[in-house]
Amino acid sequence: MSQTVPDRAHIARCLRQVTDPHTGQPLDSPQLKSFQIEQDRLHVVLELGYPARLFGPGLATLVSQQLEVIHSGPIKVDVEWAVARQATAGQTAAMANVKNIIAVASGKGGVGKSTTAVNLALAMAREGARVGVLDADIYGPSQGMMLGIPSGTKPETREGKWFVPLQAHGVQAMSMAFITTDKTPMVWRGPMVSGALQQLLGQTQWDDLDYLVVDMPPGTGDIQLTFAQKVPATGSVIVTTPQDIALLDARKGIEMFRKVNIPVLGVVENMALHTCSQCGHQEAIFGHGGGEKLARDYDVDILASLPLDMQIREQADGGAPTVISDPESDIALQYQVLARRTMANIAALAADGPAIPTFSVTED
C-alpha cells in the first residue's frame, strides 16, 4: 500500500470510485466535508445533500474500503448531511420554516397516492429528516386516519391566527379533517376549496421542516392551480398504476406541473405486481411496464415500483403505515429507497440552481 500521506486530491480520487446508488453519480470533492490524520488515523467526514441516517453506515463502509488503497492505518468515515432550501418565489411567513415542498399527485383517484404520500413522509423521517404532511385533499382527507390520529383531534392555535400541526410517528401533520368532523360534507364550489387550501397553507406554523409532503387531490383542477400559484413548490412526485387509463391521466398531471414550471422528481408505479398469498404466483393485474414507459417518455426517474399487497392497505387503514408497522419488510425497504431517491433528486435540483418557478395559463 502507498505510504504517501493522503491529501484532498487523493481522497477525492477514492471517492470517485464509489457511486451513490440514489443519484447514480460518483462521490467527489463536493461531498468531502473534511479530513484529518492524527497518529496515523485517517478521519474523513462526508456531507450528502439529503438525510441518510439508515443508508450512511453502508456508504461509509464502501468509502473506507476505497481509502485503504491510499492509507494503511486506521480509517474512520462519518456520513453527515445538509438539506438545502430550493430556490423558489413567493414564500409566505408560515412557509418560511419549510425548506422544500413536495407535491404527491396523481391524474386520477384510486391509485394509492395518499398511501404513497404518508409512507414517503415516514420513510424520510426515518432517514433523519424533519418532515411534515399536509393533506390538501379537501373533499376526501385521509392522512389523519392513516397517521393514527384519533377522530375529533383538533390542532392548537397560536396568537389567534396560527394552527399548530399535530404530531404522529415523528412527523408533523395538518389536514382539513382536523378542523371539521368526519360527518361534515365538503359541499363547496371551487373558490371555497381553493380558499380552504390557502388557509391551511398560510396559517399552519410548521416547525423547521426539511420537507413538507403535500398529499394532493386527484386531477388537474382548482386546487392544483391554486397550489401552483400560491405555493413555492420544490417538485412533484407522480403516482400511477400500470393501467392504461391511469397512465393517461398521469401524463396530464406531468404536463400540468411542467406547464407551471414545477419539476417532476419522478414517477411511482403502484400496484405493479400481485403475489398470491396462497400459492405465491405473481401476476401483473393492472398491466406491466406502464410506469417505466411513462418515465422514459418524459425523461424522469422511476422512483419506486410497489406491489399490490393487502398489508399496505390494512396497515394504512390501521393508522400505522408499512414504514412504521413493519420497517424491515421488503415493502418498507422499497418505500425507504423511494424516500432516498426523492430527497437525492431534490438535492440535485438545488445543486443545479434551477430557475425560480413561475405560473402562467395559456389557451392550448
Is residue 15 domain-shared with residue 123, that is, in the same domain?
no
Q: Which residue has the cell 426539511?
A: 210
Instruction: Give the per-residue pLDDT at 191.
Output: 62
Report whether pLDDT(89) > 70. no
Range(s) of the domain holding residue 30: 8-81
Is residue 76 domain-shared with residue 191, that is, in the same domain?
no
Contact in structure between 237 and 230 (CB atoms under 8 Å): no
Lowest mean pLDDT across 13-27, 203-217, 246-260, 270-284:
270-284
Instruction: Give the per-residue pLDDT at 356.
Output: 42
Percent of the chain with pLDDT over 90: 45
Instruction: Give the per-residue pLDDT at 362.
Output: 43
Average the pLDDT over 198-227 and give the result. Answer: 85
Task: For residue 218, give the CATH number of its domain.
Answer: 3.40.50.300
Q: Which cell goes with 301?
A: 426517474
Q: Which residue has the cell 380552504?
A: 196
Is residue 68 domain-shared with residue 109, that is, in the same domain?
no
Percent of the chain with pLDDT over 70: 84
User: Per-residue confidence at 20, pLDDT binned at 50, 70, 90?
Assistant: very high
Domain assignment of residue 119, yes or no: yes
Report the chain's mean pLDDT, rounded to a whole number.
84
Task: For residue 26, give the CATH number of its domain.
Answer: 3.30.300.130
Domain assignment of residue 156, yes or no: yes
Number of neighbours of residue 315 by Cβ within 10 angstroms: 23
**How far from chain centre, in Å, is Cα 295?**
17
Sign of CA dihedral 47, 60, 343, 122: negative
Instruction: Give the per-residue pLDDT at 246.
Output: 73
Q: For residue 133, which phi and psi values (nearest 5 degrees)?
A: -125, 125
Domain assignment of residue 362, yes or no: no
User: Per-residue confidence at 282, pLDDT binned at 50, 70, 90?
Assistant: low
Name the residue with higher pLDDT: 176 or 24. 24
Domain assignment of residue 363, yes or no: no
Domain assignment of residue 357, yes or no: no
Instruction: Give the per-residue pLDDT at 240.
Output: 87
Report whether pLDDT(334) > 50. yes
Cα distance between residue 41 and residue 154, in whole Å:
54
Element (DSSP H or E) covering residue 196: helix 190-202
Contact in structure between 190 and 221 (CB atoms under 8 Å): yes
Is residue 119 domain-shared with residue 233, that is, in the same domain?
yes
Cα distance between residue 173 and residue 112, in whole Å:
19
Report whether pLDDT(332) > 50. yes
Is residue 68 domain-shared with residue 98, that is, in the same domain?
no
Pairing of strands 302-305, 274-275: unpaired
Name the residue with higher pLDDT: 227 or 285. 227
Report whether pLDDT(355) > 90. no
Lowest mean pLDDT across 7-21, 174-188, 258-272, 322-336:
174-188
Average the pLDDT over 177-204 and give the result. Answer: 70
Domain boundary among 28, 50, 81: 81
The terminus-to-terminus CA distance of the chain in angstroms comes to: 65
Give how many domains the chain has, as a whole number: 2
Lowest mean pLDDT across 5-9, 29-33, 90-94, 144-148:
90-94
Name the residue with higher pLDDT: 110 or 143. 143
Is residue 182 domain-shared with residue 219, that is, in the same domain?
yes
Nearest 10 degrees: Cα torsion 247, 139, 266, 57: -140
Over residues 118-173, the pLDDT tens digits come to: 999 999 999 999 999 999 877 778 898 999 999 888 889 888 888 899 999 999 99
Instruction: Give the per-residue pLDDT at 279.
Output: 74
Instruction: Give the per-residue pLDDT at 182.
Output: 59
Is residue 248 domain-shared with residue 272, that is, in the same domain?
yes
Amino acid symbol at 332: A
Is residue 158 domain-shared with residue 23, that is, in the same domain?
no
Lowest mean pLDDT across 14-18, 60-64, 109-113:
109-113
**How far from chain centre, in Å, is Cα 282?**
28
Per mean pLDDT, which of 77-81, 231-235, 317-321 is the most reliable? 77-81
Answering whether pTM is above 0.85, one says yes
The residues facing 213 across adjacent strands are 102, 133
Domain assignment of residue 237, yes or no: yes
Domain boundary among 24, 57, 81: 81
